[in-house]
Each structure stands twice: as structure tokens, then as C-alpha cells.
Amino acid sequence: MYFVFGIFVHENKIGRILTEYSNTKNAIVSALFIILEAMDLSIAKENLAGTLLEAVLSFVGIAFIVNWSQVISKSISAGRGSLLLSVAASSYVIYLFHTTFEGIAKAMIHKLPFDSSIWYVFTTEALVVVLLGIVCPMGVYYVAKRFAVSRFLLGLKR
């Protein structure tokens, strides 16, 4: 569905609407996303209205992420040595290895004597898992780019 939507946007030259940033558009998209998300949490998914709401929410969610990504990229300096640039440079390796490190983190957390059914324990555990799924592959990237063999195996440039 998203792929077909992307083709439609590209071929009909309406991608500019999604990529041009304005405060008004960001406010409208953010409010719409919050309202639709609240409706989605309160409507039964088994009926047609719930199904349609989920479809619309998916596309509004894409617009929401695009808009807030623009806000973040405008507000954070992406100069040499910035965190944003470091994450971007290692994004391919993050993509390749995030599930491995998240799985390891989940397995280790599962062994700890915490009650994950408590919301704040679960939230903390989830944040740790996601953080390790990003930080550990970034470490792999920075180690791998030092050696010719690992650069070749991962398809990295020097």
C-alpha cells in the first residue's frame, strides 16, 4: 500500500506537498495525527470504520513523521561530528544488525528479576532494547570501517 502510494505521489508530481515544510502544515498534520490516533484507540477494529481509520491513520502517520523529521533536521546541527550525522552514516549497519542486538538485549532483560507487567518497568526495558538496537550496530559500524575485509563484507566505503 505504501509503495503504491509512493508511486502515485511521484508520478503525479505531488511529492512537493509532502516535502515542503511550513509551521501551519506541521500543526495541522500533528493535530490530525493525535486526533486519529485517539480515535483508533477507542474504535473497534472489526468494523469498516475501524479498518478505514487505520488506513487513513497510516498515511497521516507518514506525513507526521516526514514533518517532524524536517523539524528535527532544521533544529539540530548536522555538522561534522554531530550525532545526527553519525546515525545517518551508520544507518545501513543499524538496519542489518538492529534485530540481533535487540534480541540479545531482550533475552538478557528477560533473565532479570523485574516484573515487566508494570508499565514503567516495561517502558524502561523497551527504551533500553531500542537504544541498544541503535548504539551497538553503530559500534559495529565504527569498528568495521577500520578493516578492509569488514568494509568489503558490509559494502562500506572508506
Per-residue pLDDT tens over the stretch 18-61: 667 788 888 998 999 999 988 888 876 677 777 888 888 888 88
Locate the domains of the chain by residue range: 2-75, 83-154
**How many Cα neighbours within 13 Å face the side chain of 91?**
6
Give φ, ψ of 127 to 5 degrees.
-65, -40
Q: Is the pLDDT of residue 68 over 80?
A: yes
Q: Dump pLDDT digits (tens) for 71-90.
A: 877 776 656 667 777 788 88
Locate 51 and state its grid cell.
479498518
- R_g (Cα) of the chain, nearest Å: 20
Q: Dump pLDDT digits (tens) for 112-136.
A: 998 888 888 899 999 999 999 999 9
Neighbours of 142 (CB within 10 A): 13
Model-level pTM greater than 0.85? Answer: no
